[in-house]
């Protein structure tokens, strides 16, 4: 084994140890890192500072490991084994930082147990529900903002979790971790540098802490997008179309990628088949309409309202802190993204759909930015081996380490 490979693996083991230390910081009773009732994050902030220090050091080890693996060498099996350990490590801890997994659980129980409609009924409307005390305070008066594919899947998961908030957290954390590992494997298969791609996704400490740690459903969407690319690469166009449709019906973000992908296919003379997409859309829409009526179509409404909110780490908000009116800051970033998207469309027309870069630029422009959104870009940047997208993805990972940490 070369010295570069040994150095890379040492960095991977360091990331694993530091992610483990982050998880350990959530276990003490006075730690603010594990949400309590109503998603509250209160306690001794010393634990949060230690968590932040460990996660920042883990990022440094991650970046150094990528530097060692930047060529086309590297042992994929060894890199993958460490990636599995890193991405599964937070399963040994409680739910981290966000109570979103419990919100998913509540929406699922509203439909599967209480006979309600999560697209029409808010958690406040079913306050006697066992999951209600654990729903984040900011979501209690909001109907479901997720696509019908995710909500339909949430029903059996809610039944499986029963009335246990710990079981619900474990289920969503485990699924999110598995989807990130699926992204890792698919990115490695699609990239011209498989070991580097596996480390780029699988060694990312922020992904581990917010998916195996937080259970967010963005990993479902990202894995389906990568699956669509992988299936298309092997000529399984119908299944690829089905995966694209399911990704959109989990969260609407992939709609931004599809025009670029279609332009690339046109430029490459690649056949595009819509049957898989149409059949999947019809089936999911039919089942969703049976379960929720046409109310599921209204998910665009709360999603748009959420998109109009601002988080402190979003770049439009940062510009507002400099004295620029909020509406103007959001407009400027939206216009910049629109121009960038036109350039990306030209790139796709010339035969290269840079989906990872599109996702990274979208994250720079959105007014509502959360740390776990990095999964929109990291796997795609790795799979496409797009250096610009990778640099932006690394920058966003570093920038968002602090976001949501209760300090």
pLDDT in tens, 355-395: 999 999 999 999 999 999 999 999 999 999 999 999 999 99
On whether residue 147 sits in a domain, the answer given is: no
- Establish if 112 belongs to a structural domain: no
Question: In this structure, is residue 19 part of a structural domain?
Answer: yes
For position 70, what pLDDT does the model report?
86
Summarised one tens digit per residue, pLDDT across range 27-74 is 999 999 999 988 889 999 999 999 999 999 999 999 999 999 987 767
Nearest-5° Cα angle at 26, 23 to 28? 130
Token pair in block for residue 211: 């998916």
Q: Is residue 121 part of a domain?
A: no
- Count of residues for the chain? 407
Contacts of residue 151, Cβ cutoff 8 Å, sequence gap at least 6:
107, 108, 111, 118, 119, 144, 288, 292, 296
- 217/108 Cα distance (integer angstroms): 13
The number of helix segments (H) and strand segments (E) in the chain equals 18, 0
Range of the domain at 324: 3-99+167-286+297-400
CB atoms within 10 A of CB 26: 23
What average pLDDT does range 283-302 have in this prediction? Answer: 88
Torsion of CA 138, 139, 142, 147, to 10 degrees: 130
- Whether 145 is in a domain gets the answer no
What pLDDT, on the 0 to 100 scale, is given for residue 273? 83
Does the pLDDT of residue 306 top 70, yes or no?
A: no
Residue 30 CB-density burial (10 A; 0-12 exposed, 13-18 middle, 19+ buried): exposed
What is the domain count for the chain?
1
**What pLDDT, on the 0 to 100 scale, is given for residue 311?**
82
Q: In sequence order, which residues have a C-beta less than 8 Å from that of residue 283 and are 6 or more positions away? A: none
Give the gyration radius of the chain's Cα atoms. Answer: 21
The span from the CA of 175 to the CA of 215, in Å, is 7
Q: Is residue 394 part of a domain?
A: yes
* Domain annotation covers residue 251: yes
In a domain, 291, yes or no: no
């Amino acid at each position: 084994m070369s010295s570069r490979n040994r150095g890379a693996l040492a960095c991977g083991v360091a990331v694993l140890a530091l992610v483990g230390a982050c998880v350990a910081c959530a276990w003490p009773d006075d730690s603010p890192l594990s949400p309590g009732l109503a998603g509250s994050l209160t306690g001794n902030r010393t634990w949060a500072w230690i968590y932040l220090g460990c996660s920042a050091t883990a990022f440094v080890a991650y970046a150094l490991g990528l530097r060692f693996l930047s060529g086309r060498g590297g042992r994929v099996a060894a890199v993958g084994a460490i990636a599995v350990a890193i991405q599964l490590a937070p399963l040994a801890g409680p739910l981290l930082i966000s109570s979103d997994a419990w919100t998913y659980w509540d929406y699922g129980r509203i439909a599967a147990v209480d006979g309600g409609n999560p697209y029409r009924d808010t958690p406040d409307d079913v306050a006697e529900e066992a999951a209600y005390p654990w729903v984040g305070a900011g979501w209690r008066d909001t109907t479901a903002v997720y696509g019908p594919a995710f909500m339909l899947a949430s029903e059996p998961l809610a039944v499986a979790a029963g009335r246990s908030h710990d079981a619900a957290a474990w289920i969503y954390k485990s699924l999110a971790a598995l989807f990130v590992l699926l992204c890792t494997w698919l990115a490695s298969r699609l990239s011209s540098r498989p070991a580097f791609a596996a480390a780029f996704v699988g060694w990312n400490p922020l992904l581990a802490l917010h998916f195996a740690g937080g259970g967010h459903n963005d990993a479902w969407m990202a894995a389906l997008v990568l699956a669509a690319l992988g299936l298309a690469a092997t000529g399984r166009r119908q299944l690829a179309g089905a995966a694209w449709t399911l990704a959109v019906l989990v969260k609407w973000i992939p709609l931004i990628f599809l025009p670029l992908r279609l332009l690339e296919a046109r430029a490459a003379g690649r056949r595009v088949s819509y049957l898989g997409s149409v059949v999947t859309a019809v089936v999911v829409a039919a089942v969703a309409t049976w379960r929720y009526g046409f109310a599921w179509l209204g998910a665009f409404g709360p999603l748009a309202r959420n998109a109009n909110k601002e988080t402190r780490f979003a770049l439009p908000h940062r510009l507002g802190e400099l004295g620029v009116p909020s509406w103007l800051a959001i407009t400027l970033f939206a216009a910049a993204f629109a121009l960038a998207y036109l350039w990306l469309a030209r790139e796709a027309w010339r035969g290269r759909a840079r989906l990872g870069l599109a996702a990274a630029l979208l994250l720079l422009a959105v007014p509502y930015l959360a740390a776990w959104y990095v999964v929109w870009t990291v796997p795609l940047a790795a799979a496409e081996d797009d250096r610009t997208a990778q640099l932006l993805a690394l920058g966003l990972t570093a920038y968002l380490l602090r976001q949501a940490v209760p300090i």
